[in-house]
């Protein structure tokens, strides 16, 4: 007797179809799983045995059972093959009216026959739709997440008993939910109005939020760099449906979706410690998983104490800062994860932290300051659009009762600028000005003779690279968008230039 059911393997953020083939034959009683299974897949035999026993389902144990997971050149990992293997065994022992060719099955079994949550359900649902499967059988706990994808019936399975009753003719109602009908407004605890002074830094962060530009803040301890950074998500626009699915997909594969919350509706804000490894930051591992830069996709990656990160770890940021993706290569293959984030980094100006401070003298030698600054390479600094000083706030400012602009007011301006960019890039696969390449810069960042002369002098005197030239134009375009100007003007170029790295 031979039966076949369909499942899939999650590879990075994508899926590969897996055919679960079950063969029953005469011979020495055995239960073999082949097709390059890992230990978790091999252990499925024991879980299936126990689950069948505890739900009262009997099958011919005295036969030779062979289960093949094809294709055999892809390593099968994790417990998500429990349910398709169990279903294949059930179908091989009795004649059930089940459309296996149009059904995709995924799920982990407990010893008592219940279905447990598995990671990566959202990419699995996307795969089911792309491959024209009619139904997707998954654990009930994962149904809300899978229901984000329309065009495929989501069949929630509570346990093996309900599946057996379903095979016997009992209907399981498809899970239907419209998650996008109401997306709750994000509730941020940090607000720009809580910060006294630092108007220049607030302006720079507004520009960064409007065009998704990278920021490096430098200042003495206690000047407000961390608090400023934590307010950035509160001035970013609400996530659109496409961005929500992108972020949710990443968190689903990483197994970090909050319990009872199938959607990531707030802009991610990730704050890895400076002792984090390269794998933790960019992703990887034996089974490649998204790292912090991918978990910050469409949100903010905050790197406090920027120079304290290992140089090799910082250098790994070059590709994602330029391309918005990270490629992780392993012996089993290459995986690409999205990593389109706003980098917000902070640093002290020197090891003691008080170089240039108006009230406390610096205790560092010139050699120590130079060594500290050289921890961050020139090419990495060149990829940061806004370099801003965050000086100590004077007591007169701290004691003022008057609050500055709230995040809601600033976000309204940011959203207006993003709306302009959305219209500008309606025929492009772009969202923000920072994503423009040289061709788009040439098309959308045209400047007059006065602006060109100013930029020419700046490039010559400041010894700016070609990358810096393009980044200044993109930053100027964002400043013009915030001002509601169709064309980039001289004052926009001037403001963009003041944010370049200071020698």
| Per-residue pLDDT, 183 | 64
Q: Could you tell me if 392 and 220 are in contact, meaning their C-beta atoms sit under 8 angstroms apart?
A: yes
Tell me if 501 is assigned to some domain. yes
User: Which stretches within 324-433 are classed as H helix?
Assistant: 366-373, 378-382, 395-398, 407-424
Tell me if 443 is assigned to some domain. yes
- Domain boundary among the residues 177, 209, 228 is at 177
47 and 145 co-located in one domain = yes
49 and 140 co-located in one domain = yes
Backbone torsion region of residue 484, taken as left when φ is above 0, otherwise alpha when ψ lies between -120 and 50, otherwise beta = left
Tell me if 431 is assigned to some domain. no
202 and 127 co-located in one domain = no
Element (H, E) at 209: helix 199-211
Tens of pLDDT, residue by residue over 204-231, are 999 999 999 999 999 999 888 999 999 9
Q: Look at strands 14-25 and 2-11 and give their pairing.
A: antiparallel
pTM of the predicted protein model: 0.90
User: What helix, strand, coil percent values describe the chain, rounded to 5?
Assistant: 40, 20, 40
The structure tokens listed for 221 are: 């301890």
Q: Is the pLDDT of residue 357 over 80?
A: yes
| Per-residue pLDDT, 181 | 54
Q: What is the mean pLDDT of residues 419-426?
A: 95
Which sign does the torsion angle of CA 332, 334, 338, 344 carry?
Answer: positive
| Per-residue pLDDT, 501 | 76
Confidence of residue 1 (pLDDT cuts 50, 70, 90): confident
**Partners of residue 300 on adjacent β-strands:** 269, 342
132 and 231 co-located in one domain = no
In 3D space, the residue among 301, 298, 231, 315 whose CA is nearest the CA of residue 273 turns out to be 301
Domain total in the chain: 3
Tens of pLDDT, residue by residue over 226-238, are 999 999 999 999 9
400 and 447 co-located in one domain = no
> What 3-state DSSP class applies to 292?
helix
137 and 238 co-located in one domain = no
Confidence of residue 245 (pLDDT cuts 50, 70, 90): very high
| Per-residue pLDDT, 180 | 62
Residue 293's CATH number: 3.40.50.300
168 and 200 co-located in one domain = no
Tens of pLDDT, residue by residue over 167-176, are 999 999 999 8
State the Cα–Cα distance between residues 345 and 218, nearest whole angstrom: 9
Q: Is the pLDDT of residue 186 over 90?
A: no
Tell me if 346 is assigned to some domain. yes
| Per-residue pLDDT, 222 | 87
Residue 103 phi, psi (nearest 5): -125, 135
Residue 13's CATH number: 3.30.230.10
The structure tokens listed for 402 are: 């008057």
Tens of pLDDT, residue by residue over 121-134, are 999 999 999 999 99
| Per-residue pLDDT, 33 | 93
| Per-residue pLDDT, 463 | 82
| Per-residue pLDDT, 26 | 83
Q: Is the pLDDT of residue 10 over 80?
A: yes
329 and 462 co-located in one domain = no
| Per-residue pLDDT, 100 | 93
Q: Is the pLDDT of residue 203 over 90?
A: yes
105 and 161 co-located in one domain = yes
- Number of residues that this document lists for the chain: 503
Q: Could you tell me if 244 and 334 are in contact, meaning their C-beta atoms sit under 8 angstroms apart?
A: no
Please provide the DSSP assignment of 423-482 as one string: HHTTTTT--SGGG--HHHHHHH----HHHHHHHHHHHHHHT--HHHHHHHHHHHHHHHHH
Tell me if 428 is assigned to some domain. no
State the Cα–Cα distance between residues 152 and 142, nearest whole angstrom: 14
- Domain boundary among the residues 143, 177, 211 is at 177
Q: Could you tell me if 190 and 85 are in contact, meaning their C-beta atoms sit under 8 angstroms apart?
A: no
State the Cα–Cα distance between residues 294 and 288, nearest whole angstrom: 12
Q: Name, in order, each residue with C-beta under 8 angstroms of 70's C-beta and a sequence gap of 6 or more.
A: 18, 19, 21, 35
Tens of pLDDT, residue by residue over 36-70, are 999 989 999 999 999 999 999 887 777 888 999 99
Could you count the other beta carbons within 10 Å of the beta carbon of residue 464?
18
State the Cα–Cα distance between residues 394 and 404, nearest whole angstrom: 16
Q: What is the mean pLDDT of residues 240-256?
A: 93
- Domain boundary among the residues 388, 423, 458 is at 423
Q: Is the pLDDT of residue 184 over 70?
A: no
DSSP 362: -
State the Cα–Cα distance between residues 134 and 372, nearest whole angstrom: 59
In 3D space, the residue among 387, 389, 388, 373 whose CA is nearest the CA of residue 468 turns out to be 387
| Per-residue pLDDT, 179 | 66
Q: Is the pLDDT of residue 384 over 70?
A: yes
166 and 271 co-located in one domain = no
Q: Could you tell me if 164 and 133 are in contact, meaning their C-beta atoms sit under 8 angstroms apart?
A: no
Q: Is the pLDDT of residue 270 over 70?
A: yes
State the Cα–Cα distance between residues 231 and 267, nearest whole angstrom: 11
Tell me if 397 is assigned to some domain. yes
Q: Name, in order, each residue with C-beta under 8 angstroms of 344's C-beta and a sequence gap of 6 or more.
A: 205, 208, 214, 215, 217, 229, 232, 300, 301, 302, 303
Residue 494's CATH number: 1.10.8
Tell me if 449 is assigned to some domain. yes
Q: Could you tell me if 285 and 279 are in contact, meaning their C-beta atoms sit under 8 angstroms apart?
A: yes
446 and 478 co-located in one domain = yes
CA 316 remoteness from chain centre = 17
- The maximal CA–CA distance of the chain, rounded, in angstroms, is 89
Element (H, E) at 215: strand 215-218
Confidence of residue 104 (pLDDT cuts 50, 70, 90): very high
| Per-residue pLDDT, 317 | 94
State the Cα–Cα distance between residues 30 and 269, nearest whole angstrom: 51
Instruction: Provide, rounded to the nearest whole percent, the portion of the chain with pLDDT above 70.
Output: 97
State the Cα–Cα distance between residues 233 and 245, nearest whole angstrom: 18
Tens of pLDDT, residue by residue over 283-330, are 987 778 899 999 999 999 999 999 999 999 999 999 999 999 999 887
135 and 108 co-located in one domain = yes
b/e map 333-345, b = 16+ CB within 10 Å: eebbbbbbbbbbb
Tell me if 429 is assigned to some domain. no
Tens of pLDDT, residue by residue over 443-493, are 999 999 999 999 889 888 888 888 889 999 999 999 999 999 999 999 999
> What 3-state DSSP class applies to 90?
helix
The structure tokens listed for 192 are: 């720009």
> What 3-state DSSP class applies to 386?
strand
User: Which stretches within 273-355 are classed as H helix?
Assistant: 278-282, 292-295, 311-315, 318-323
Q: Whole domain around residue 463: which residue ranges?
A: 436-503
| Per-residue pLDDT, 331 | 67
């Amino acid at each position: 007797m031979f039966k076949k059911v369909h499942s899939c393997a999650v590879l990075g953020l994508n899926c590969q179809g897996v055919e679960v083939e079950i063969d029953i034959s005469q011979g020495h009683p055995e239960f073999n799983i082949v097709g390059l299974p890992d230990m978790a897949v091999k252990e499925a035999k024991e879980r299936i045995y126990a689950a069948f026993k505890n739900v009262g389902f009997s099958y011919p144990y005295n036969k030779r059972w062979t289960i093949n997971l094809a294709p055999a050149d892809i390593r099968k990992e994790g417990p998500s093959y429990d349910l398709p293997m169990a279903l294949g065994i059930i179908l091989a022992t009795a004649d059930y009216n089940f459309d296996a060719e149009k059904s995709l099955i995924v799920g982990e079994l407990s010893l008592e026959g219940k279905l447990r949550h598995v990671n990566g359900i959202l990419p699995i649902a996307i795969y089911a739709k792309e491959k024209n499967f009619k139904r997707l059988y998954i654990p009930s706990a994962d149904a809300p997440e899978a229901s984000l994808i329309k065009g495929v019936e989501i069949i929630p399975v509570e346990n093996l008993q309900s599946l057996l009753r379903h095979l016997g003719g009992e209907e399981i109602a498809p899970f239907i939910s419209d998650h996008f009908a109401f997306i709750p407004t994000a509730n941020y605890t940090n607000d720009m109005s809580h910060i006294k002074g630092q108007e220049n830094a607030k302006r720079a962060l507004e520009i960064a939020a409007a065009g998704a530009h990278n920021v490096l803040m430098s200042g003495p301890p206690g000047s407000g760099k961390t608090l400023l950074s934590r307010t950035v998500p509160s001035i970013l626009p609400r996530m659109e449906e496409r961005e929500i699915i992108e972020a949710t997909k990443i968190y689903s594969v990483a197994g970090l979706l909050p319990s009872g919350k199938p959607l990531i509706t707030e802009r991610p804000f990730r704050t890895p410690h400076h002792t984090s490894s390269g794998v933790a930051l960019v992703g990887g591992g034996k089974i490649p998983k998204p790292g912090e830069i991918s978990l910050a996709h469409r949100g903010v990656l905050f790197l406090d104490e920027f120079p304290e990160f290992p140089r090799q770890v910082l250098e790994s940021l070059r590709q994602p800062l330029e391309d918005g993706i990270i490629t992780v290569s392993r012996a089993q293959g290459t995986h690409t994860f999205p990593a389109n984030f706003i980098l917000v980094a902070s640093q002290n100006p020197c090891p003691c932290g008080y170089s240039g401070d108006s009230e406390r003298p610096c205790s560092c030698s010139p050699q120590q300051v130079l060594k500290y600054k050289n921890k961050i390479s020139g090419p990495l600094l060149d990829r940061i659009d806004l370099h801003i000083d965050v000086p100590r706030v004077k007591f007169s400012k701290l004691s003022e009762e008057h609050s500055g602009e709230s995040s809601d007011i600033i976000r309204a301006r940011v959203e207006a600028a993003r709306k302009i960019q959305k219209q500008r890039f309606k025929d492009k696969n772009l969202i923000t000005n920072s994503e423009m390449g040289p061709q788009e810069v040439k098309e959308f960042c045209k400047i007059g003779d006065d602006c060109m002369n100013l930029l020419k002098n700046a490039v010559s005197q400041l010894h700016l690279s070609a990358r810096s030239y393009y980044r200044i134009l993109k930053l100027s375009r964002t400043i013009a968008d915030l001002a509601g100007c169709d064309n980039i003007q001289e004052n926009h170029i001037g403001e963009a230039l003041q944010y370049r790295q200071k020698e």
